[in-house]
Amino acid sequence: MASLNVGNLGNLGDYLREQRRTAQLSLRQLAEAAGVSNPYLSQIERGLRKPSAEVLQQVAKALRISAETLYVRAGILDEKEREELETRAVILADPSINERQKQVLLQIYDSFRKENAAEAASGAVSEPASEPASESGPESGPGPVPAAAPAPDADEPPSS
């Protein structure tokens, strides 16, 4: 049977096959792990079927890859939306920061995105103005650091 490759689905199928092989899973193993039928998954890989977002999420979970990446490849989500969702997911999944810190980071992230979108819409330059680097290079600080006085020797009595 010839592949129809409807729209971007051939690309999705090729990508899924590549990811499945990288994970060293058979079609049958992936279908079982994702909770879909073996023939249905085969049709997705060959570009004959357009899976729902729910099926893509199940397949992504079974492959341990980003569902958003599959959504982009299937044409469900555009690249910018995927990047935003992945950024949010990374922040929310970080165990080294607490919930309040996560919410603050997300608020800052949203404000920067809104600011940049408004600047882009008005035609303004979105790159921040940078200060010229000094002659010693961009990593130089505010000036020379004074040398610290040497620590007194423990064997010597303090001088008066």
Residues 112-159: pLDDT tens digits?
Answer: 988 998 998 887 654 555 554 444 444 444 444 444 444 444 444 555
The answer to whether the CB of 44 falls within 8 A of the CB of 16 is: yes
Rounded mean pLDDT of 34-61? 94
Q: Is the pTM of this model over 0.85?
A: no
pLDDT at 143: 46
Residue-level pLDDT at 72: 82
pLDDT digits 0-9 by tens, 55-102: 999 999 999 988 888 888 888 877 777 778 778 888 888 889 999 998
| Phi and psi torsions of 69, nearest 5° | -60, -40
Q: What pairs with residue 137 in β-bridges?
A: 134
Buried b (16+ CB within 10 A) or exposed e, 93-127: eeeeeeeeeeeebeeeeeeeeeeeeeeeeeeeeee
Contact 15, 77 (CB under 8 A): no
Asked whether residue 21 carries a pLDDT value surpassing 80, the answer given is: yes
Confidence at 4, pLDDT banded by 50, 70, 90: very low
What was the pLDDT predicted at 84?
Answer: 80
- Token pair in block for residue 22: 């990288």
In residues, how long is the chain? 160
For residues 147 and 112, give the distance between their C-alpha atoms in angstroms, rounded to a whole number: 41
User: How far apart (Å, rounded) are the C-alpha atoms in residues 49 and 16?
Assistant: 13
* Cα dihedral: 19, 20, 21, 23 (round 10): 90
Q: What is the rounded CA–CA span in Å between residue 29 and residue 37?
A: 10
Q: Is the Cα torsion angle 97, 98, 104, 109 positive or negative in sign?
A: positive
Report the pLDDT value the prediction gives residue 141, as an integer from 0 to 100. Answer: 43
